[in-house]
C-alpha cells in the first residue's frame, strides 16, 4: 500500500498532523518508537506539571497560616505523587491513541529509518517491514543536550530531566546546571518539597530570554526563600556530585543538567541532501524542507521548542499538503510561553529589550498584579507584575509579560491582542469578568 503521508515521530507535531490528515480522508502512517505523545506528554510538560501540582499542594498546606489556616503534621508521599503522574500520562496517551484510531490512522510502534527518497516516493523501514509514502513529515523532536564538561559522561550523580522525572526517591540535595525553563521548573519542584537547591547559570541572569523585570521578581522571591542561585557562573568540571564552577566547589547528591535540547535526526541518515542549520532542519513558512515532498515540524526544526508551536506547525503543514485555501502561516510574533515556577511567568510577543534591538519606539506600561482584587484575595504576600509593550506610533500591543498566579491561564487573551494587532483603544472595548486576575490586562490599558 502507498500512503499519502508518512510521519516519523508521534509527539505534539506528529499526532496533530496524523489526526488532521487522516480526518481529511488521507492514508497516513505514523511511526513512534516510544509512547505517542512524545517528550511533552511522556517525559516533559505533563509529568512535570503533575509533580509540580503535588508539590504546590504540599507547599500551600505548609504556608497556609497567612490565610488563617493551620495545618499540623503535613507530609507528602513522593511515591504517591509519582504514581499519580504516571496515571495522568497513561490516560492522556490512551486518549491520543484512541483519537488516531477513530480517524483510521495506521500507528506503527518502532524506530523508523528512511531508506530512500525520490520526488514521488519515500521508502521507510520499521520492524523489518517496508512502507511507501508520497510525502514525509519529520517530527522526530529533540534530545537533551549534554555539554562537553569534564566528568559529566557516565557520572552516576548526573541526571537529565528524564532521569529526574523517573526517580523513585527525591534527592537529598541537588545542583541544577542551567537556569533556563527546565532548570527553574525543577528548582521549584525540589524547593517546594524541601530539597536544598543550587542553580548554576552561565549567563548574567536566569531565564535569559524572558523580560528581565519579570524575572527579577522571581529571582528575588526564590533567593529570599533560600534557593541558591548563582549567575555568571560557568561549570568547569564534575566529579560525582562535586561541581567546580568559577573556581569554587559545590556539592550535592544529584546534579541535574538542563542546558538546552538539540534536534533529533536519528533515522534520517539517507536524506543526506536535507538542508540543516545548526543541526536543525530548515523549513519554509509552510514547514516544507528543501526536498519537495519532505516536511518537518516541531523541535526538529529548532525554531521555538514548545509543544504548542509544534502542534501549530503541524496544522500549517497539513493545510499546505491538502492545499487548503487560504494557506496559513504561523504567527511567530505571538507565541505565548509559560514557565511553571511559583509564581508562574507567562508572556507573549516581544520584550522591551527586543523592541529596543528592533528600533521600535515603544511605550511600556507596568502594573503590579495587586491591582486585581482577585489576585489580592488569593496571593497573600505577593506583588506580581504585568508589563505591556505598546508601539508608540500605532498604539498596537506588541508584547505582554507577567508574573503572578495564575497568569498562565489568561495569557491567551493577550495572545489574541498581539496576534491580531489590536490597539490599546480596541483592547479597551473587551470586557473582562470580575473578579479575575485577568482584569489586569484591562487595568493596564
d(CA 338, CA 333): 15
Considering only residues 340, 375, 410, 422, which one is a binding residue for ligand NAD as defined by CB under 6 A? 340
Q: Smallest distance from the beta carbon of 408 to ligand NAD, in angstroms?
A: 9
| 192 is an interface residue for ligand NAD by CB under 6 A | no
Q: Which stretch binds ligand NAD (CB under 6 A): 72-80, 195-203, 278-286, 397-405?
A: 195-203
Q: Smallest distance from the beta carbon of 402 to ligand NAD, in angstroms?
A: 14
| 178 is an interface residue for ligand NAD by CB under 6 A | yes
Q: Which stretch binds ligand NAD (CB under 6 A): 103-111, 179-187, 281-289, 392-400?
A: 179-187
Q: Is 90 helix (H, G, I), strand (E, B) or coil?
A: helix
Binding mask 277-316 for ligand NAD (x = CB under 6 A): ----------------------------xx----------
CB neighbours of residue 396 within 10 Å: 19
**DSSP strand E in 258-396: where?**
261-263, 276-277, 280-281, 294-296, 337-339, 345-349, 362-367, 385-391
Q: Using the minimum distance from each CB to ligand NAD, give the nearer residue, 93 or 338.
A: 338
Binding mask 230-269 for ligand NAD (x = CB under 6 A): ----xx----------------------xxxx--------
Measured from each CB, the residue nearest to ligand NAD is 180
Backbone φ and ψ for 173, nearest 5 degrees, come out as -155, 155
Q: Using the minimum distance from each CB to ligand NAD, give the nearer residue, 180 or 384.
A: 180
175 and 201 Cβ atoms separated by less than 8 Å: no
Q: Using the minimum distance from each CB to ligand NAD, give the nearer residue, 341 or 438.
A: 341
d(CA 98, CA 95): 5
Q: Smallest distance from the beta carbon of 125 to ligand NAD, in angstroms?
A: 30
Q: Using the minimum distance from each CB to ligand NAD, give the nearer residue, 200 or 398.
A: 200
Interhelix angle 78-102/45-62, rounded to 10 degrees, is 140
According to DSSP, residue 406 is labeled T
Query: Exposure of 384 by Cβ count < 10 A (0-12 exposed, 13-18 middle, 19+ buried)?
Result: buried
Considering only residues 108, 200, 215, 418, which one is a binding residue for ligand NAD as defined by CB under 6 A? 200
Considering only residues 125, 182, 263, 348, which one is a binding residue for ligand NAD as defined by CB under 6 A? 182
Helix, strand, coil distribution of the chain in percent, nearest 5: 35, 25, 40
Q: Is 363 left (phi over 0), alpha (psi -120 to 50) or beta?
A: beta
Q: Which three cell numbers stand for residue 369?
A: 498584579
Considering only residues 25, 95, 110, 147, which one is a binding residue for ligand NAD as defined by CB under 6 A? 147
Q: Angle at the Cα of 58 (from 52 to 64), degrees rounded to 5?
A: 125
Q: Using the minimum distance from each CB to ligand NAD, give the nearer residue, 131 or 222.
A: 222
CA distances from 367 to 54, 217, 279, 426, 442 (A): 30, 13, 41, 19, 11
- Please count the residues of this chain forming the interface with ligand NAD, following the rule CB under 6 A: 26
Considering only residues 12, 37, 179, 298, which one is a binding residue for ligand NAD as defined by CB under 6 A? 179
Which residues are paired to 255 by β-bridges?
Answer: 158, 175
Q: Using the minimum distance from each CB to ligand NAD, give the nearer residue, 82 or 144.
A: 144
Q: Is 14 helix (H, G, I), strand (E, B) or coil?
A: helix
Options 308, 401, 434, 442, the catalytic residue:
434
| 181 is an interface residue for ligand NAD by CB under 6 A | yes
| 202 is an interface residue for ligand NAD by CB under 6 A | yes
Q: Smallest distance from the beta carbon of 376 to ligand NAD, in angstroms?
A: 26
d(CA 429, CA 330): 26
434 is catalytic: yes
Report the interface residues with ligand NAD, using CB under 6 A.
147, 177-183, 185, 200-203, 208, 234-235, 258-261, 305-306, 337-340
Residues recognised as catalytic: 434
Amino acid at each position: 500500500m502507498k500512503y499519502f503521508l508518512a510521519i516519523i515521530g508521534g509527539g505534539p507535531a506528529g499526532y496533530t498532523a496524523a489526526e488532521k490528515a487522516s480526518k481529511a480522508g488521507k492514508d497516513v502512517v505514523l511511526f513512534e518508537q516510544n509512547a505517542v505523545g512524545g517528550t511533552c506528554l511522556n517525559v516533559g510538560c505533563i509529568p512535570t506539571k503533575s509533580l509540580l501540582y503535588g508539590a504546590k499542594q504540599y507547599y500551600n498546606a505548609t504556608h497556609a497560616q497567612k490565610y488563617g489556616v493551620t495545618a499540623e503534621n503535613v507530609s507528602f508521599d513522593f511515591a504517591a505523587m509519582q504514581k499519580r503522574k504516571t496515571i495522568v500520562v497513561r490516560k492522556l496517551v490512551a486518549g491520543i491513541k484512541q483519537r488516531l484510531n477513530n480517524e483510521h490512522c495506521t500507528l506503527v510502534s518502532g524506530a523508523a529509518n528512511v531508506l530512500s527518497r525520490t520526488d514521488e516516493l519515500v521508502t521507510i523501514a520499521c520492524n523489518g517491514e517496508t512502507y511507501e509514502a508520497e510525502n514525509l513529515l519529520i517530527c522526530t523532536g529533540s534530545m537533551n543536550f549534554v555539554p562537553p564538561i569534564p566528568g559529566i559522561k557516565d557520572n552516576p550523580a548526573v541526571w537529565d530531566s528524564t532521569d529526574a522525572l523517573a526517580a523513585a526517591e527525591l534527592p537529598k540535595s541537588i545542583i541544577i546546571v542551567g537556569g533556563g525553563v527546565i532548570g527553574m521548573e525543577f528548582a521549584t519542584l525540589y524547593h517546594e518539597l524541601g530539597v536544598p537547591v543550587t542553580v548554576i547559570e552561565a549567563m548574567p541572569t536566569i531565564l535569559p530570554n524572558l523580560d528581565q523585570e519579570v524575572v527579577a521578581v522571581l529571582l528575588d522571591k526564590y533567593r529570599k526563600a533560600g534557593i541558591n542561585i548563582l549567575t555568571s557562573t560557568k561549570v568547569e568540571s564534575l566529579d560525582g556530585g562535586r561541581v567546580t564552577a568559577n573556581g569554587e566547589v559545590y556539592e550535592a547528591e544529584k546534579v541535574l543538567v538542563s542546558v538546552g535540547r538539540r534536534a533529533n535526526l536519528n533515522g534520517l541518515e539517507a536524506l543526506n541532501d536535507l538542508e540543516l542549520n545548526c543541526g536543525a532542519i530548515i523549513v519554509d513558512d509552510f514547514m516544507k524542507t528543501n526536498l519537495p515532498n519532505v516536511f518537518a515540524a516541531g523541535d526538529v526544526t529548532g525554531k521555538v521548542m514548545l509543544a504548542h508551536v509544534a502542534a501549530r506547525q503541524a496544522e500549517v503543514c497539513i493545510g499546505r499538503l491538502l492545499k487548503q485555501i487560504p494557506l496559513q502561516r504561523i504567527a511567530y510574533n505571538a507565541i505565548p510561553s509559560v514557565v511553571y515556577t511559583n509564581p508562574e511567568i507567562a508572556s507573549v510577543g516581544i520584550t522591551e529589550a527586543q523592541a529596543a534591538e528592533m528600533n521600535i519606539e515603544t511605550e511600556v506600561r507596568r502594573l503590579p498584579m495587586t491591582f486585581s482584587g482577585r489576585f489580592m484575595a488569593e496571593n497573600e504576600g505577593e506583588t506580581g507584575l504585568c508589563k505591556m509593550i505598546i508601539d508608540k506610533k500605532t498604539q498596537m500591543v506588541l508584547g505582554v509579560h507577567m508574573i503572578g498566579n495564575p497568569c498562565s491561564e489568561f495569557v491567551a487573551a493577550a495572545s489574541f491582542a498581539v496576534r491580531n494587532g489590536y490597539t490599546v483603544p480596541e483592547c479597551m472595548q473587551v470586557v473582562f469578568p470580575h473578579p479575575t486576575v485577568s482584569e489586569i490586562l484591562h487595568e493596564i490599558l
